[in-house]
Amino acid sequence: MKEKKEAILFDLDGTLWDSSREVLLCWDRVLSPLGRSITAEELSRLMGLTPREIGDAQFPDLPPAERYALTDRCLAAEAPYLYERGARLYPRVRETLRLLHERYFIGLVSNCTEDYALAFFHGHGLASLFDDHETAGRTGLDKGENISLLLRRNGIERAVYVGDTAKDLAAARAAGIPFLYASWGFGALSEDQPSLTSFSSLVEAAASRMGS
């Protein structure tokens, strides 16, 4: 099989799936016995953040050690639930990934925990469509560094990163690769960038953005 030298790398939340309903349920199971709660609006603002950023944003009233421990408990509750049930894939994700995988190296780079990424793969039977992945939970690195790490270890020559937030754009720039904005996700950009109106539009947009 010819080795693939062109890659499409994906963010997870807000790009490939929307797990907000399921995650809200998991967090509520942890927080309710403590007299705490989280709203859907609050949760949406946490999507795409690293675990420490989540703790700082959601539990600023707690001392650092306590806020991070509570964040870890909430995050740990997500993976087992999602591993068995999955969440809501955006329209035509499976079909489009299958088509893209015939030509491109497909990767996942997310600020999530490692178990959360594995739950995504298992919950929807998508592991075979991804050639590699990297998470902040596994490396402790920021997203730009993880993109660069994944590209180096796989010998990728050209790539594009698909995400839905300004942080995703910044990560792509830090790694020196083009960016495609998933307009259906949780974030908004303050500057013009090539924008996807649907997941299936990636087939044409990726080739154009990488100049191939």
Q: Is 88 left (phi over 0), alpha (psi -120 to 50) or beta?
A: beta
Closest CA to 193 of 166, 212, 171: 166
Q: Compute how many other C-beta atoms are within 10 angstroms of the C-beta atom of residue 186.
A: 18
Q: What Å distances lie between residue 85 and 21, 23, 119, 172, 197, CA to CA?
A: 12, 12, 9, 31, 27
Closest CA to 166 of 153, 154, 179, 177: 179
Contact between residue 128 and residue 144 where contact means Cβ atoms under 8 Å apart? no
> Do 172 and 113 share a structural domain?
yes
Type of residue numbered 174 = A
Give me the pLDDT at residue 1, please. Answer: 42
Contact between residue 161 and residue 172 where contact means Cβ atoms under 8 Å apart? yes
pLDDT tens digits along 66-122: 999 999 999 999 999 999 999 999 999 999 999 999 999 999 999 999 999 999 999
> Do 10 and 56 share a structural domain?
no
Least confident residue range of 42-46, 54-58, 162-166, 201-205: 42-46
**C-alpha to C-alpha distance for 28 and 128, rounded to whole angstroms:** 32
Give me the pLDDT at residue 29, please. Answer: 96
DSSP states of 50-89: -HHHHHHHH-TTS-HHHHHHHHHHHHHHHHHHHHHH--EE
Contact between residue 134 and residue 145 where contact means Cβ atoms under 8 Å apart? no
> Do 113 and 195 share a structural domain?
yes
**C-alpha to C-alpha distance for 120 and 1, rounded to whole angstroms:** 27
Supply the CATH number for residue 192's domain.
Answer: 3.40.50.1000
Looking at 35, 57, 85, which one is the last position of a domain? 85
Confidence check: pLDDT of 7 > 50: yes
> Do 80 and 70 share a structural domain?
yes
> Do 134 and 31 share a structural domain?
no
The mean per-residue pLDDT over the stretch 149-175 comes to: 96
**C-alpha to C-alpha distance for 12 and 18, rounded to whole angstroms:** 9
The mean per-residue pLDDT over the stretch 118-138 comes to: 96
Domain with 115 in it: 6-18+88-210
Provide the number of structural domains found in the chain: 2
**C-alpha to C-alpha distance for 54 and 38, rounded to whole angstroms:** 12
Is the four-CA dihedral 144, 59, 22, 183 of positive or negative sign?
A: negative
More confident residue, 191 or 123: 123
Q: Answer whether residue 1 is part of any domain.
A: no
Confidence check: pLDDT of 2 > 80: no
**C-alpha to C-alpha distance for 13 and 136, rounded to whole angstroms:** 14
Q: What is the pTM of this model?
A: 0.90
> Do 145 and 175 share a structural domain?
yes
Looking at 35, 70, 85, which one is the last position of a domain? 85
pLDDT tens digits along 30-78: 999 999 999 999 988 888 788 899 999 999 999 999 999 999 999 999 9
The residue written with tokens 């178990």 in the block is: 115
